[in-house]
């Protein structure tokens, strides 16, 4: 191999001037960059005409061949191949060294081809399944790449190192030390793998985690990134996510909103519920399926409280508040048109009969006793300077 490389020394005899050698060097490097930049286009064209595996093999051979040729031309035009021969003779690098180098190169190039083929195969298999998300597909691809390249590097090291077992044992002890020092980070990484495959939420979901609410923008091995509705970007460690209660508001692609409205005790509740349903139908964001609901929730201090429930699709903070605001406006307008009163908070004050009721003092100081009830506490307090309950 070194003898073949030495043949490029003739270039140094043909190009003796420095500027000529620089020109040849730039041409070789430029050709290499051109091939690197056009490799994707070449692969796409080959994919259209032949099988993807063959396209990967051809593209890889072209890239490796171009790289070796550019290095050989650069060394030859400057007459540096003799340096490689002297280096080989000094360190007694004979045929065994060349054989190891060739085998290592073939293994690495083959690993690159296999990794590309595995990536393409996983893409075809996983994209055909609707239950696998893009994020899970990406994680599966990364794990497969790590496994393939780790096996290849171990094989290459076994070629160059005789006692590979000792090296692996030392690496194992080093891994234990690093694991003890970075146990929190490793815990976050393990939690990240659990989140990626358990799928409690996905990118784009509206979630609430550890008191933080927002849209998930990214899920990495270590952290989960959330953009709050105030425009803040929050980074939550995955171990915190795994140990916290997670609320996913968009798991099914819709969100339920409830608006509470009180009606006077003298109002026909069924009629008020019917009007509220008709008002909700006028809101554009409200989904027809599931259908809106109006339920009587409780007897309030001043009104019968109705819960108006409806759903919106493609939920977001903006769509939620827009739908809620529109619903409140439509319900209020419908009740006003039908003459249904939405009462203000009220308090009913009454005096005990055995104590003679209320004693009201007028401006002249005379005391008037009454056992009548008043339904408006505000009017009572504003009409008299003092209001005392009888002892």
pLDDT score of 309:
92
More confident: 103 or 286: 286
CATH of domain 254-338: 3.30.70.100
8 A C-beta contact, residue 351 and residue 299 = no
C-alpha to C-alpha distance for 235 and 256, rounded to whole angstroms:
27
- Show me where the domains of the chain are located: 2-175, 199-248, 254-338, 353-389
CATH of 199-248 given 2.30.180.10, 2.30.30.60, 3.30.450.40, 3.30.450.90? 2.30.30.60
To the nearest whole number, what is the mean pLDDT of the chain? 75
What burial letters (b/e) apply to 158-191, b meaning 16+ CB within 10 Å? eeeeeeeeeeeeeeeeeeeeeeeeeeeeebbbeb
More confident: 290 or 379: 290
Which band of pLDDT confidence, cut at 50, 70 and 90, is reported for residue 228?
A: confident
Which band of pLDDT confidence, cut at 50, 70 and 90, is reported for residue 354?
A: low
pLDDT score of 182:
57
Which band of pLDDT confidence, cut at 50, 70 and 90, is reported for residue 355?
A: low
pLDDT in tens, 180-214: 655 666 666 777 777 766 778 878 888 888 778 88
Percent of the chain with pLDDT over 90: 7
Which band of pLDDT confidence, cut at 50, 70 and 90, is reported for residue 331?
A: very high
pLDDT score of 7:
62
- Does residue 86 carry a pLDDT above 70? no
8 A C-beta contact, residue 194 and residue 178 = no
pTM: 0.46
pLDDT score of 225:
87
pLDDT score of 176:
67
Tokens of 94: 């004979």
pLDDT score of 307:
92
More confident: 180 or 228: 228
Query: Phi, psi at residue 12, to the nearest 5°?
Result: -70, -25
Domains 199-248 and 254-338 share a fold: no
Q: Which of 194, 118, 104, 190 is nearest to 152 (CA)?
A: 104
- Does residue 290 carry a pLDDT above 70? yes
pLDDT score of 305:
92
8 A C-beta contact, residue 304 and residue 296 = yes
What burial letters (b/e) apply to 89-108, b meaning 16+ CB within 10 Å? eeeebeeeeeeeeeebeeeb
pLDDT in tens, 43-76: 778 777 776 667 777 777 887 788 778 877 877 7
pLDDT score of 75:
73
C-alpha to C-alpha distance for 241 and 252, rounded to whole angstroms:
20
Segment of 75-84, 302-311, 314-323, 354-363 carrying the highest mean pLDDT: 302-311
pLDDT score of 389:
38
């Amino acid at each position: 191999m070194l003898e073949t490389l030495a043949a490029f020394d003739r270039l140094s005899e043909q190009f003796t001037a420095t500027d000529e050698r620089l020109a040849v060097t730039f041409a070789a490097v430029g050709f290499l960059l051109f091939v690197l930049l056009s490799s994707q286009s070449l692969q796409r064209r080959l994919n259209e005409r032949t099988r993807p595996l063959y396209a990967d093999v051809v593209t890889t051979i072209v890239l490796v061949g171009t790289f070796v040729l550019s290095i050989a031309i650069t060394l030859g035009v400057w007459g540096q191949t003799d340096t490689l021969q002297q280096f080989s003779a000094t360190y007694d690098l004979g045929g065994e060294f060349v054989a190891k180098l060739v085998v290592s190169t073939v293994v690495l190039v083959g690993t690159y081809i296999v990794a590309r083929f595995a990536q393409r195969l996983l893409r075809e298999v996983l994209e055909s399944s609707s239950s696998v998300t893009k994020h899970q597909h990406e994680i599966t691809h990364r794990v497969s790449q790590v496994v393939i390249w780790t096996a290849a590097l171990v094989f290459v090291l076994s070629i160059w190192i005789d006692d590979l077992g000792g090296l692996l044992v030392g690496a194992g002890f080093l891994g234990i030390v690093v694991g003890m020092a970075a146990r929190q980070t490793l815990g976050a990484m393990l939690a990240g793998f659990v989140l990626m495959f358990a799928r409690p939420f996905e990118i784009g979901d509206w979630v609430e985690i550890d008191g933080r609410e927002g849209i998930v923008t990214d899920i990495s091995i270590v952290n989960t990134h959330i953009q709050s509705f105030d425009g803040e970007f929050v980074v939550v460690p995955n171990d915190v996510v795994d140990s916290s209660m997670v609320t996913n508001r968009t798991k099914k692609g819709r969100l339920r909103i409830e608006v509470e409205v009180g009606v006077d005790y003298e109002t026909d509740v069924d009629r008020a519920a019917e009007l509220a349903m008709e008002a909700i139908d006028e809101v554009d964001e409200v989904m027809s399926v599931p259908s809106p609901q109006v339920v009587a929730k409780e007897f309030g201090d001043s009104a019968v409280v109705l819960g108006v429930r409806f759903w919106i699709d493609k939920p977001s903070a903006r769509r939620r508040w827009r739908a809620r605001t529109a619903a409140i406006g439509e319900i209020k307008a419908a009740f006003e048109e039908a003459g249904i009163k939405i009462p203000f908070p009220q308090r009913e004050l009454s005096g005990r009969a055995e104590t003679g009721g209320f004693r009201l003092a007028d401006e002249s100081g005379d005391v008037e006793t009454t056992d009548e009830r008043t339904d408006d506490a505000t009017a009572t307090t504003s009409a008299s300077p003092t209001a005392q309950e009888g002892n």
